[in-house]
Amino acid sequence: MARKVVIAGNWKMNKTASEGKALVEALKETTKGICPNCADIIVCPPFTTLVSVIEAAKGSNIKVGAQNIHWADNGAFTGEIAGNMLKELGVEYVIIGHSERRQYFGETDETVNLRLKAALKNDLKPIVCIGELLEERESGATEKVLFTQLDGGLKDISAADMEKIILAYEPVWAIGTGKTATPDIAEETHKYIRSFLADKYGKEVADKIVIQYGGSMKAENAEALVGQADIDGGLIGGAALKADSFTALIENAIAGAKNK
Ligand code: PGA
The structural domains of the chain, ordered by start, are 5-246 (3.20.20.70)
- For the CA of 214, the closest atom of ligand 1 is 6
Catalogue the active-site residues: 98, 170
Distance of CA 183 to CAs 20, 51, 87, 201, 226, Å? Answer: 31, 36, 35, 26, 8
Ligand 1 centre from 144 Cα, in Å?
Answer: 23
What is the mean pLDDT for each group of 10 consecutive residues in the chain (260 residues)?
92 98 98 95 98 97 98 98 98 98 97 98 98 95 98 98 98 89 96 98 98 97 98 98 98 96
Ligand 1 centroid distance, CA of 215 (Å) = 5
Cα of 202 from ligand 1 centre, angstroms: 30
| CA distances from residue 196 to 17, 112, 146, 203, 214 in whole angstroms, order as listed | 40, 18, 9, 10, 19
Give per-residue pLDDT as tens, 146-203: 999 999 999 999 999 999 999 999 999 998 888 888 999 999 999 999 999 999 999 9
Task: Indicate which atom in ligand 1 lies nearest the CA of residue 176.
Answer: 5
The set of protein residues with a Cβ atom below 6 angstroms from ligand 1 is 10, 170, 175-176, 214-217, 235-239
In whole angstroms, give the CA distance from residue 163 to residue 119.
Answer: 14
Entry pTM: 0.98
